[in-house]
A and B are shown apart, each in its own frame.
Chain A
């Protein structure tokens, strides 16, 4: 007589198979390509169920620049993540379909492949999971039902062929769209900045004396203390610890939070006002700054830290350790200007 355990196993088996089958079906089928990380960046993490193939990256790129992903065909992902602005929109807060104003500043997608969490509050944990967000968000691409934009893609002359090439069948579904977008985003890497050539490339002349002083301030725990959150590693640097911190940004005059940030996800009281540490790569090109885009210049960001942020009950203790002399502040800004890297190849709009 079969034991109860075997029975359960048997019951689960078809489910597992079904799960597996649909998953393999939605995985890119071609030969995986190696995404080469530029100087200063670690190898790109790629999930096992979404190997990057040349065709899937190309499909993702096409989708990324396709306005049909929005409800009224007015804007593509690139509307808010524009290569001209280093994959941001250069605005304080993003504007979506019908010019609806969002509540947060659009982060750069360059190097987002390294982020263990996506969004300022980390509500998505992978690029795959992330991309459905904006498509459905009423103040972004505004698709109440995904079927609507999927149908638009199915009616296209090219897409069914492209999906067949990538996934082995012409079926167009949400998972496939997500995966392709994520694979394109994984190629949006930007390194080889002056800082990288200095720090990891052995070029002692790559940074100016002021930038070298600024780097020292950045690293000094009793100075800028910046690297305690915007991490610089021995072999590479993504300038973020991938964690959430309350630096006192977005605290209103009477001490309330204008945006509760990470708390939205965790419901842990001390996460109120905490946001994901953003990368600082290409920071000179992605003004304005912070989750609410409220700081216009890098000099003003540095002054914000020099003042030790805005007090509130959950202010990260690391902020209180920051001490910056006037010279330190000037040097820090110079250093932040040395973090602009190369734009990745083949990242602009696809040729028709």
Chain B
């Protein structure tokens, strides 16, 4: 089963190592076709994009969510639970928008970061509400609550899956195989729990903070389509030219009622 292929690889590796009398250069002939050539960003010329997301119109009053149906959740949540689907501060700054490079990086293959991304369930709440990672990057899902949760990743392009996590269960490790903006995540047990995962094939994405700002760094100079996704307000995009060693501003505004 699962074990066998990796076991076989270990064996092959071991036997290869055994055959060699002294360390030599690895034989690359058969490898070249499969090993991807990763795009290397030149730090000397790389630029960045930064900006702010704004929401015009009346500031939506934070909606209180009733989680009293599960008393353990009430206790674990510590304080009131406010809806995070439209978070705007007093100055009209819009949080929880996913900003990413939609076009302009075609043909470049980026190495998958070895860092992991964590989605925690705590206080019967997914934290963070919006998160991004690359295809193949390790997502770690934890349950810090004294109750059972259930992570239902309602993916359309990736495989949909559903997994139960009891209190104290070991973290769940998952990866996504294809880019997808966005993968909604819910808990089948606590219907107020929602999170959204942005899966990209490049490392250039950000989530707007509470003050509406975002920054995307270490970007090769070029012309890009910058995309924004917001759970309630929909998508927008703009074309942007990034020149070497400079920060290019990019702001977005969503019209409210």
Contact = CB atoms under 8 A, between A and B. Distances in A.
A315 to B, nearest CB: 9
A253 B163 contact: yes
B162 interface: yes
Contact of A300 (B163, B167, B187): B167
B194 interface: no
A344 to B, nearest CB: 33
B166 interface: yes
A307 B161 CA distance: 12
Given A253-B173, A303-B189, A310 B2 contact: no
Nearest to B166: A300
B172 interface: yes
B254 to A, nearest CB: 34
A327 B134 CA distance: 40
A253 B160 contact: no
A311 B163 contact: yes
Interface in A279-301: 294-296, 299-300
B217 interface: no
B35 interface: no
Nearest to A294: B166
A308 B152 CA distance: 10
Nearest to B163: A310
Contacts of B148: 299-300, 303-304, 307
B149 interface: yes
A54 to B, nearest CB: 46
A158 interface: no
A309 B162 contact: yes
A296 B146 CA distance: 12
Contacts of A310: 162-164
A244 B195 CA distance: 35
Contacts of A304: 148, 164, 166
B162 A311 contact: yes
Interface residues of B, number: 24
B152 to A, nearest CB: 8
A306 B189 contact: yes
A307 B166 contact: no
A256 B6 CA distance: 15
Q: Which of B161, B170, B174, B188 has the most CB of A within 10 A?
A: B188
Interface in A236-251: 248, 251
A295 B166 contact: yes
A255 B171 CA distance: 14
A254 B162 contact: no
Contacts of B189: 303, 306-307
B1 interface: yes
A255 B161 contact: yes
Given A300-B148, A326-B69, A253 B172 contact: yes
Interface string A303-323: 110111111000000000000
B76 interface: no
B150 interface: yes
* Interface size classification for chain A: 20 to 34
A299 B166 CA distance: 10
Nearest to B160: A311
A323 B136 CA distance: 33
Contact of A303 (B1, B69, B147, B170): B147
A255 B1 CA distance: 12
Interface string B4-48: 000000000000000000000000000000000000000000000
B164 A296 contact: no
Q: Which of A304, A326, A327 has the most CB of B within 10 A?
A: A326
A309 B172 CA distance: 15
B150 A254 contact: no
Interface string B99-138: 0000000000000000000000000000000000000000
B150 A307 contact: yes
A309 B69 contact: no
Contacts of B171: 253
A299 B71 CA distance: 13
A274 B187 CA distance: 24
A306 B186 CA distance: 13
A326 B72 CA distance: 12
A202 to B, nearest CB: 35
Q: Which of B69, B152, B163, B171 has the most CB of A within 10 A?
A: B163
B196 to A, nearest CB: 19
B174 A254 contact: yes
Nearest to B170: A253
Contact of A306 (B150, B163, B174): B150
A46 B173 CA distance: 49
Nearest to A295: B166
A307 B187 contact: yes
Nearest to A257: B1
B256 to A, nearest CB: 33
Nearest to A254: B173
A299 B172 CA distance: 21
A307 B69 CA distance: 16
Contacts of A307: 148-150, 152, 162, 164, 187-189
A266 to B, nearest CB: 16
17 contacts: A248-B164, A253-B163, A256-B1, A256-B2, A300-B166, A303-B147, A303-B150, A304-B164, A306-B189, A307-B148, A307-B152, A307-B162, A307-B188, A307-B189, A311-B160, A311-B161, A311-B163
Given A307-B150, A326-B70, 4 more contacts: A254-B173, A256-B1, A303-B148, A307-B188
Q: Which 7 A-B pairs have the closest CB atoms?
A: A307-B150, A303-B148, A326-B69, A311-B162, A307-B188, A253-B172, A311-B161
